[in-house]
Structure 1
Amino acid sequence: MERIERIHALHRILSAARYPVTVQRLQEDLECSRATVYRDLAYLRDYLMAPVIGNGEAGFQYDHKEAQRFELPGLWLSSEELHALLAAQQLLVRSGGGVLSNALAPLQQRIEKLLDEHAGGRRLPVERVRVVPHRTRKLDETAFRVVATAVLDRKPLSFEYRARSTDERTRRTVSPQRLTHYRDNWYLDAWDHDRDALRSFSVDRISGAKLLETAVHDVADEELDRHLASSYGIFSGTPKGWATIVFSAKAARWVADEHWHSQQQGRYLSDGRYELKVPYSAGRELLMDVMHYGSEAEVVEPASLREQARTLHALALSNYER
């Protein structure tokens, strides 16, 4: 449970309690340590000015007279919740004037009401918080609708796919499994019947999509997670191994706080540099992100990935030698 959730839960417990609540019970209800309970109580009392009374022996509660006038202040949303609400609001605004505008108007109003409630009745200047799309690709809206329908209606799909890496056009017949939004772009995770394997397709490279009436091949969620989420990036698959990247002390200020993969391992080295380890399958996407740091990053292991990084840097340098 995140801290903001614990504070809300702690506030509810103390608000409803007629008698002091023991620290042991708070530990159990909040699923945290004794020290965390005391820290959250101190934060609630000293920073949020909540009427917390009591001690560690007798337990804690709200002063009943003062509790009637106390409310948690302002905007109590986590960064992820705020981003989700604002992104949803801006997407709804952008849909205005089309077929969806009237149908989505009630949802837009509910989001705005929720934001207002979390702001204690004040109007939030949401226009001061920006959700900026980054490197989005132009989609064929017709193809996207067909793909989305196939995923949600559980129907097989046939389409022409133009691979970005080779520019080769192929006709694919697939059983859609998931539609994934990743780095501001859409991808179709599907079972490729011709290759008898799971594949990820960039939706912006799909054309001529048609729904089929044959039976769909469903892949278990556990297998999808194992294949699609076990390695680095969107084009994952079963990990070949672990990549080790060392970042300079300067870059460490950013990298140490970044989420690269759910199983990543990171540590500071004695000289201030930062060592990051992530599981990977196809190295190209990982190397694209590593090369974003330029000379501040070094691929250490495995040797094959290090050589690939060296080659890419050499090719990039050759562009400046004439």
Structure 2
Amino acid sequence: MARNEQLIRQHKLLQLLEFSRFGSTIDELRTELISDLGLTTLHGRTVRRDLEALEASGYGIRTETLERGKVYKLARNNKSVHEIGISATELISLSIGRELLFPLLGTQYWRGIETFWNKVKDALPAGMYEHYDRYRKTLHVFGTPSKTYEQHEGMLKTINRAILEHRIVEIQYAPVGKPVSTRRIEPYGLAVYQSSIYVVAAAPEVENPAERLRNWKLDRFRHAIALDEYFKPDPDIDLSDRLGRSIGIFSGESPTMVRIQLGDRAAAWVGEDPWHPEQKLESQSDGTSILTVPASHPREVLPKVLALGTEAEVIEPEAFRAAVAEAVQSMAAKYR
């Protein structure tokens, strides 16, 4: 655990030095580390040893004596963006990606995006930036949600630390339509789905191994604290594989294959904007098509089918068909 904590400290030190324009003293770095990592104590000698370890690893850390004392700075890379040959097209792609990640505003991830973007702009010759700016105005990004996670920055830091150190986290969680409850979770990672951040974590009180790992929406967290209790991660859990098994966020061990009959227009739309990489779309003799997609919960299918209106009908399994039928009947009653 000590080795992991050292790596976390050193990574945070690099971030602090990157953001510090005029350098930072040992005491200033120590104070920031305690605040950002939620530590109780940290000796200045530990910070100095971490800086020496980073310098020995090849990072350009230099010192300068100012009125407030000896400060540490991160030396600039001697290779500029212009020297690595970035093109206007690459700049456009980078700026589009930046706009698509706007929901991460206020998080450490967004600060990393912004600092890198500003470095790129500062290193560009004026003529190249003008060329980029002229062509960037031909392409606009729409449809990204206006939500951000600025209010969750502190909780994200706590959860990130708990993921790296395998700590149990105590949270106050407010599911939609239910009262706030205090829960203990074992966090494995974070996932971004449709501009929302989810914490992939196990619920230790659940005995069935197939149901312990769940996705907790960060918007519903009211409080989070990393406890001085640790858990042993399951080595068989592969988050990338697990999260990619279904069309939505309710991913599980064994998703259900859902068959949906589509009209010709709906089939064209789903062909243009696939629901899942492994979906199958088969044309039928009557002009319709059968879409087969994996889903772990009826709520993943429901909004997509309703969005297609009369152009879509869930065929099987019965539980998914019944869920859509119930929603349609309830809606019809309201519109009578």
Relative to the length of structure 2, the TM-score reads 0.60
Show CA shifts across 1:281-318 (max 9, x none). Answer: 21112112211111111111112211221111000111
Give matches, 1:121-270, under 5 Å: 122-125=131-134, 126=136, 128-134=139-145, 136=147, 140-141=151-152, 142-164=154-176, 166-196=177-207, 197-220=212-235, 222-270=237-285
* More off after superposition, 184-193 vs 285-294: 285-294
- Equivalent-residue separation in structure 2 for 1:219 and 1:115 (angstroms): 46
1:236 match: secondary structure? coil
The change in CA–CA distance for 1:147 and 1:314 in structure 2 (over 3 A counts) is same
- Aligned residue for 2:48? none
In 2, Cα distance between equivalents of 1:111 and 1:122: 14
Q: State the Cα distance separating 1:201 from its structure 2 match.
A: 0.5
CA drift of 1:130 comes to 2.1
Query: How far apart, in 2, do the equivalents of 1:180 and 1:241 lie?
Result: 21
Alignment gaps of 5+ in structure 2: 1-84
- Equivalent positions of 1:44-59 (< 5 A) are none
Task: Extract unaligned runs of 5+ from structure 1.
Answer: 1-70
Distance 1:207 1:240, change over 3 A: same
Given that 1:226 and 1:238 are in contact with CA atoms closer than 8 Å, whether structure 2 keeps it comes out as: no
Q: Which residue of 1 aligns with 2:97?
A: 84
**Rounded Cα–Cα distance in structure 1 between residues aligned with 2:317 and 2:123:** 49
Bigger helix share = 2
Structure 1 counterpart of 2:167, which letter? Answer: K
CA shift, 1:275, in A, is 2.0
The corresponding residue for 1:75 is 89
C-alpha distance in 2 between matches for 1:104 and 1:277: 38
Distance in 2 (CA, whole Å) between partners of 1:104 and 1:251 is 37
Q: Is the 8 A contact 1:157 1:173 kept in 2?
A: yes
Can you list the C-alpha shifts for 1:135-178, whole angstroms capped at 9, x where unaligned? 747774243443333234443211011222x5143321111111
Residues 135 and 184, structure 1, Cα contact 8 Å, conserved in 2: no
Distance, in Å, in 2 between the alignment partners of 1:229 and 1:104 is 25
What SS class does the counterpart of residue 293 from structure 2 fall into? Answer: strand
Work out whether residues 242 and 278 of structure 1, in 8 Å CA contact, stay in contact via their aligned partners in 2: yes
Q: Please tell me the root mean square deviation across aligned C-alpha atoms, in Å.
A: 3.8
Aligned CA distance change for structure 1 residues 106 and 184 (closer, same or farther; 3 Å): closer
1:312 and 2:323 correspond: no
Amino acid at match of 1:147: I
2:49 corresponds in structure 1 to none
Are the structure 2 counterparts of residues 106 and 287 from structure 1 closer, same or farther at C-alpha, using a change threshold of 3 Å?
Answer: closer
Amino acid at match of 2:285: S
8 Å contact kept, 1:75–1:120? no
SS in 2 for 1:208: strand
* Distance (whole Å) between structure 2 residues aligned to residue 285 and residue 114 of structure 1: 45
Shift of the 263–82 alpha-carbon distance from structure 1 to 2, 3 Å rule, reads farther
Q: Percent identical across equivalent pairs?
A: 23
Q: Distance in 2 between matches of 1:120 and 1:272?
A: 51
